[in-house]
């Protein structure tokens, strides 16, 4: 397996994984992925095996302690140091699920965030995924203000400092 930052030639495979893991209302658009690859490639990490993308995690850095819905549309470049690393999306190809790939992606993003002196990693998830994130060191901060896709989301946070 190779762990690296996303590139534009990964787009088709990334969109396939995104659309297999999220409902149409929840899934990032092609334009959102193009923007993220162009502007936050330093926090858009993929795992590939034999030239095939099998999973990814991505999100911009923000000064806010939690994700805000506007982050799903357009990402600004990450600051060189500081801030809070967000996770807007993490997904694994269905053929590779339940093999520790998502946890590995979280660890890789955490390493990158620590190297850039980020304060925390923050994300939103559905209720059924809270135990997965808690197992990976995240704390449930309660129901999020997010209205993304009309779903109830929970704020999860992992302090790095």
Each domain of the chain, given as residue ranges in start order, spans 2-159
Using one digit for the tens of pLDDT, what is the confidence trace for 138-151?
999 999 999 999 99
Two tokens, residue 93: 């190809």
Domain 2-159, architecture per CATH: 3-Layer(aba) Sandwich (3.40)
- 142 neighbors 132 (Cβ within 8 angstroms): no
pTM: 0.96
φ/ψ of residue 154, rounded to 5: -120, 135
Q: What is the pLDDT of residue 32?
A: 96
| Long-range contacts of the stretch 124-132 (C-beta < 8 A, 24+) | 124/66, 124/67, 124/148, 124/153, 124/154, 124/155, 124/156, 125/153, 125/154, 125/156, 126/151, 126/152, 126/153, 126/154, 127/152, 127/154, 130/154, 130/156, 132/102
pLDDT for residue 161: 75
What integer pLDDT is reported at residue 122 of this predicted model?
98
The yes-or-no verdict on residue 92 having pLDDT over 90 is yes
Q: How confident is the model at residue 52 (pLDDT cuts 50, 70, 90)?
A: very high
Closest CA to 57 of 12, 148, 121: 121
pLDDT value at residue 140: 98
């Amino acid at each position: 397996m190779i762990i690296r930052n996303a590139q534009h030639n990964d787009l088709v495979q990334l969109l396939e994984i995104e659309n297999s893991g999220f409902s149409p209302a929840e899934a990032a658009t092609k334009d959102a992925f193009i923007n993220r690859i162009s502007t936050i490639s330093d926090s858009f990490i993929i795992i590939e095996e034999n030239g095939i993308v099998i999973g990814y995690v991505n999100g911009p850095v923000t000064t806010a302690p939690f994700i805000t819905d506007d982050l799903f549309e357009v990402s600004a470049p990450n600051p060189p140091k500081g801030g809070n690393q967000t996770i807007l999306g993490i997904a694994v190809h269905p053929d590779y699920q339940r093999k520790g790939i998502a946890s590995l992606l979280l660890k890789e993003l955490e390493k990158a965030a620590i190297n850039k002196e980020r304060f925390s990693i923050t994300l939103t998830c559905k209720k059924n995924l809270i135990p997965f994130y808690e197992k990976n060191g995240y704390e449930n901060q309660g129901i999020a203000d997010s209205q993304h896709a009309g779903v109830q989301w929970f704020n999860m946070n992992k302090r790095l400092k």
